[in-house]
Amino acid sequence: MKKLVLSLSALFAFGAMAQQRTILIEAFSQASCGPCVNPNIALQALHDANPDKFIPIKYQVSWPGVDPMNAQNPTDVANRVTYYNVTGVPHRVVDGTTTAVANVNQALIDTRYAVPSPITMDISHTINADFTADVTVTITAPAIWNPTNTVLHLALIEKTITFASAPGSNGETVFKNVMRKMLPSPNGSVVEASNFTSAGGSQTFTFTNVAIPSYIYKMTEVGFIAWVQNTSTKEVHQAGMSNPVPLSDYGVVQSVNVGTDYSCAADLTGAQIVLQNQGTTPITSATVNYQINSGTVQTAPFTGNIAPNGTANFTLPNINVPSGAHVLTTYLTNINGSGSTVALGTQTAPFARISAPGTTGQMIQDFSNTAFPYTNYYVTSPTGDNWIRVAPNNGSIRYTFYNFTAGKTGEVYLAPVNMATNSAKLMTFDVAYRQYQAENDRLEVLVSTDCGATWSSVYNKAGSTLATLSAATAAYTTPAASDWRKETVNLSSVGTADKLIVKFKATSAYGNNLFVDNIMIGGTLATVEYEQFPVEVYPNPASQVAFVGFEAFGSYSITLTDISGRVVKQVSNNASGMVKEELNLSSLNSGAYIISIETKGQKTTKSLIVE
C-alpha cells in the first residue's frame, strides 16, 4: 500500500509540471508578396480548425514591395526579422525553434501541442476612457522552475484589418493578428527566476496606460498576444491572447467624400463624412474635427442619434483653400460628452483646388527639384498606387508597374498652362519603359479645358509600342541615356485654351517600370532640348536646308520627326571628329520638328522650325 501512495505522489508531481501549452506561430508575410497568398490562406484555415491549439501572429515585412502596415512600424518588425534571420517571405516560426519556410501542417501542430509546458499564462486587458489600454499578464509555474535568459514578449495586435482594395500588389485585402507594436519594446520584459523557486511561483507583468498608436485602423480590433521565450534557445514556453473587447462611447469617421477631387474652385464645398458607431451605446453627440494639410484644426458639433453599428452622414462647413493639392483629415473627439480629446477613426482624403491661372508661355519640367509634387501639381491614385519622383536622369517620375498588380492606376496632373500664349501648339516628353515579358502596361496623356470636368486623350501607348528597350524580369530601376525616347503630342485642338490641364495616367498590367521626364508644353520651340554633347543646328528657323554640326565618335545617326512622332528624314553615317550634315527640307510642311542625334551611346535632341 505504501508503494502505491508513493507512485501516486510521483504521478501528481509530474502532472503538476506538465501544463498544456498554447503554440505560437510567428508568420512573416507582405502585402506585395505573391507567393505569400496561398500559405496565408492555409494558415488561417489551419487556425480555424485548431483555435485552441495555437495562436498566429503576423509580421508584415518591408519587402518585396508596398505594405502600409510595415511602413507604420518598420522597426519592431525588423527586430523579429533579425532575431530569426528571416531572409524571405512567406516564413513561419513555430514556438521559436521549428521553422517551416512557407507552410505549417496539422502533423506539426499535433506534435508540438503534445509537448508539455512548464508554465501557465493568464492575459487580459481593458480599454480606458482615454482610449489607452491596461494589460495584465501572469505566468505561473505549478512546479519549481528555473528560467534563464527568459523574457515575456507582449504585442499589441489588430485581430482583423480589412482594406476596401488591396494595399499591396498581391491582392490580399484581409490581414489577421497583425503585430502593430511590441511592448514595452522588442526586447521584452525579464522573467525573474527568483519568482519560481517553489511550486506555484508566479510573476505578474502590468502595463498601464498603454498608448494605442494613431495608425491603428480599428480600435475595436485591438488585442494583445503574449509569449514567454528563452532568448538563447529561442524556444517559446507558452503563449496567450487577450481578444478585442467591446467599447462604449466609441465611433469613427468611416469615410470621407470631397466631391470632385480636382477642380478650379477656390474652396472645398460640400465635403461629406460618414460617422459610424462602433461602440455599445448610442452616440447622441460628438465633436467633428477637420484639418487641411497641417493647418489649424477646426471643429463642428454633431448631434443626433446613431445606434450601435449604425451610421450617419455629416456635411463639413465650406473651407477656403489656397490653390494647390491638399489633404483633408477628419476625426472624432468628445463622444457623448466624454471630454476625451483622443482622435478617433481618423480618415484622410486628397484633393486639389487649382484656382491659379494658366502658366504664360512655355512650361518646362525636368523633375530636378526633389520637392515633388510641385506647386499646383496633383498626384493621385484611386487604388493608392501613386507616381513618385526618382533620381535617374537627374530626376524623373516613375510608375512602378513592377510592384503594382494589373488594373492599378495612377495620375499626375501638371500645373495649368495658358496655350493661347504659345506659338507652338504641342508637347514633348521623354519616356523610358521596358516590359517584364509581354504585358501591356499603359501610358495615356489626357487634356482638359474645363478644369477636369471632361478629358480628351492625346496620347495612348501600351506594351511593346510603349517600350523603349527589350523586356527584362529584373526590376527596371535606372534607365541608361540610350533608353529614352522623345514623344511629341499635337495640342492644336486645344491651342486656344487659357487654362489647359494635362495629366499623365498609368494603368498597370503588372509588367516592368515606366519613367517620364523632360516635359515641355508650348513655347517658341517644340521640345525641351536634351543635350548630352554639343550640337549646332542652323539656320533655325530654316526653309530649304538646315545644317547639323557636332563631334562624332564613329557611327552616328540623325533623325528628324514631325510633331506626331513620324520619322520624316533619317541619316546614318560613320566618322570621327567634327561633322556637318546637310538636311534637305524642301519637301516638308511648315511647322515644328525634332532632330535627334546619337553617337557613342549618347543622345542630343534639338528643335527645328521649318518656315
Q: Which three cell numbers stand for residue 207?
A: 502595463
Query: For residues 229 and 150, is the Cβ–Cβ distance under 8 A?
Result: yes
At residue 233, the 3 state secondary structure works out as: coil
pLDDT of residue 528: 45
| Omega prior to 184 cis, within 30 of 0 | yes
**Identity of the residue numbered 403:** N
**Identity of the residue numbered 508:** S
First-to-final CA distance of the chain: 121
> How far is the C-alpha of 85 from the C-alpha of 78, rounded, in Å?
10
Is the Cα torsion angle 80, 45, 161, 156 positive or negative in sign?
Answer: negative
Kindly tell me if the per-residue pLDDT of 603 is higher than 90.
no
pLDDT of residue 525: 46
Kindly tell me if the per-residue pLDDT of 168 is higher than 90.
no
207's CB contacts (< 8 A; 6+ apart) are 133, 134, 135, 136, 137, 154, 183, 184
* Concatenated DSSP letters of 441-482: -EEEEEEESSTTSS-EEEEEEEHHHH-SS---SS------GG
pLDDT of residue 12: 34
Instruction: Tell me the average pLDDT across 506-516.
Output: 97
Query: For residues 258 and 327, is the Cβ–Cβ distance under 8 A?
Result: no
Query: For residues 186 and 156, is the Cβ–Cβ distance under 8 A?
Result: no
At residue 451, the 3 state secondary structure works out as: coil
> How far is the C-alpha of 221 from the C-alpha of 216, rounded, in Å?
9
**Identity of the residue numbered 579:** V
Residue 421: exposed, middle, or buried by beta-carbon count in 10 A (0-12, 13-18, 19+)? middle
For 143-157, 344-358, 540-554, which range has the lowest pLDDT when averaged over its residues?
540-554
Query: For residues 191 and 139, is the Cβ–Cβ distance under 8 A?
Result: yes
The pLDDT tens digits of the residues spanning 107-135 come to: 999 999 999 999 999 999 999 988 999 99
**Identity of the residue numbered 129:** A
> How far is the C-alpha of 404 from the C-alpha of 507, rounded, in Å?
9
pLDDT of residue 17: 53
Task: Give the other-Cβ count within 10 Å of 7's Cβ.
Answer: 10
At residue 258, the 3 state secondary structure works out as: coil
Instruction: Express as a percent the part of the chain with pLDDT over 90.
Output: 80
pLDDT of residue 529: 53
Kindly tell me if the per-residue pLDDT of 562 is higher than 60.
yes
For 199-213, 387-401, 529-543, which range has the lowest pLDDT when averaged over its residues?
529-543
Beta bridge mates, 133: 127, 210
Kindly tell me if the per-residue pLDDT of 424 is higher than 90.
no
pLDDT of residue 308: 96
Instruction: Tell me the average pLDDT across 335-353.
Output: 94
What strand order describes the sheet that includes 311-315?
251-257, 272-277, 311-315
Instruction: Tell me the average pLDDT across 232-251.
Output: 97
Strands in 213-334 per DSSP E: 222-230, 236-242, 251-257, 262-263, 267-268, 272-277, 283-292, 298-306, 311-315, 319-320, 324-333
Phi, psi of 565 (to 5 degrees): 90, 5
pLDDT of residue 564: 58
Kindly tell me if the per-residue pLDDT of 33 is higher than 90.
yes
Phi, psi of 118 (to 5 degrees): -80, -10
Beta bridge mates, 139: 121, 203
Query: For residues 431 and 393, is the Cβ–Cβ distance under 8 A?
Result: no
Q: Cell 472645398 sits at which residue? A: 268
**Looking at residue 92, what DSSP letter applies?**
E
Task: Give the other-Cβ count within 10 Å of 49's Cβ.
Answer: 10
Q: What is the pTM of this model?
A: 0.75
The pLDDT tens digits of the residues spanning 458-484 come to: 999 999 999 999 999 999 999 998 999
**Is the model more confident about 607 or about 294?**
294
The 3 state secondary structure assigned to 34-86 is HHHHHHHHHHHHHHHHCCCCEEEEEEECCCCCCCHHHHHCHHHHHHHHHHHCC
- Using pLDDT thresholds of 50, 70 and 90, give the confidence band for residue 530: low
**Identity of the residue numbered 411:** E
| Omega prior to 64 cis, within 30 of 0 | yes
408's CB contacts (< 8 A; 6+ apart) are 169, 381, 383, 385, 507, 508
The widest CA-to-CA distance across the chain, in whole angstroms, is 124
pLDDT of residue 6: 33
Residues written for the chain: 611
The pLDDT tens digits of the residues spanning 439-455 come to: 999 999 999 999 999 99
Q: Which residue, among 31, 159, 44, 171, has the nearest Cα to 103 in the 3D structure?
A: 44
Query: For residues 250 and 219, is the Cβ–Cβ distance under 8 A?
Result: yes
Instruction: Tell me the average pLDDT across 207-232.
Output: 96
For 219-228, 305-314, 569-578, which range has the lowest pLDDT when averaged over its residues?
569-578
Beta bridge mates, 545: 584
pLDDT of residue 611: 78
Alpha-carbon distances, residue 344 vs 280, 296, 315, 500 (angstroms): 15, 18, 18, 40
Kindly tell me if the per-residue pLDDT of 14 is higher than 60.
no
pLDDT of residue 527: 45
Per the prediction, the chain carries an average pLDDT of: 92
Query: For residues 280 and 294, is the Cβ–Cβ distance under 8 A?
Result: no
> How far is the C-alpha of 530 from the C-alpha of 607, rounded, in Å?
10
pLDDT of residue 523: 67
**Identity of the residue numbered 68:** P
- Using pLDDT thresholds of 50, 70 and 90, give the confidence band for residue 313: very high
Kindly tell me if the per-residue pLDDT of 16 is higher than 70.
no
pLDDT of residue 4: 33
Q: Which three cell numbers stand for residue 296?
A: 489649424
| Omega prior to 373 cis, within 30 of 0 | yes
**Looking at residue 208, what DSSP letter applies?**
E
Kindly tell me if the per-residue pLDDT of 533 is higher than 60.
yes
